[in-house]
Amino acid sequence: MAFLREDHLLSSPAPAPVTTAEIDERYGRTPGRKRWNRRGAWAAAAAFVAVFTAWVVWGGLDGTTTSVDAVDTAHKVIDDRSVSITFRAALPPGTSASCALQAQNQTHGIVGWKIVDVPESDVRVRSVTSVVNTTELAVTGLIYRCWLT
């Protein structure tokens, strides 16, 4: 490894001073680059506003907000292989739905599962009772989810 002598360091010419324009050019701070950054920011903001507006119209203002409201009303453990589940489903008259029912054991593990159809009717609120077969003793029966069909 070669060492520089002290007299060599002293005899080398001083570097030329770097101007602000050169520094700006080196790090991309030119007027054209600033314009591009500003245009990119405006384009991104416009795209965000367009997507957000489309999402609000599609998700909230389209007027088709029909859904099924279901409430557990009772459950009865029949034996160690079945449970009866009763629930009320509220949905628009003339529409049908399906509901997923589940039976759970003491540790809240699912031991039974069944899809039940709620038929069309002229009334809004309908009461449905169904028996769910289980793989072991259930301690409860619940509605998992309902959807329009």
Mean of per-residue pLDDT scores for the chain: 85
| Residue reference for tokens 């009717």 | 121
Tell me how far apart the alpha carbons of residues 45 and 69 are, in angstroms, rounded to a whole number.
Answer: 38
Q: CB under 8 Å to 52, separation ≥6 — which residues?
A: none
Is it the case that residue 9 has pLDDT exceeding 60? Answer: no
Are residues 85 and 125 in contact, defined by beta-carbon separation less than 8 angstroms? no
Helix (H) / strand (E) containing 100: strand 97-104
pLDDT score at 45: 92
pLDDT digits (tens, 9 = 90+) for 57-107: 877 766 555 788 999 999 999 999 999 999 999 999 989 999 999 999 999
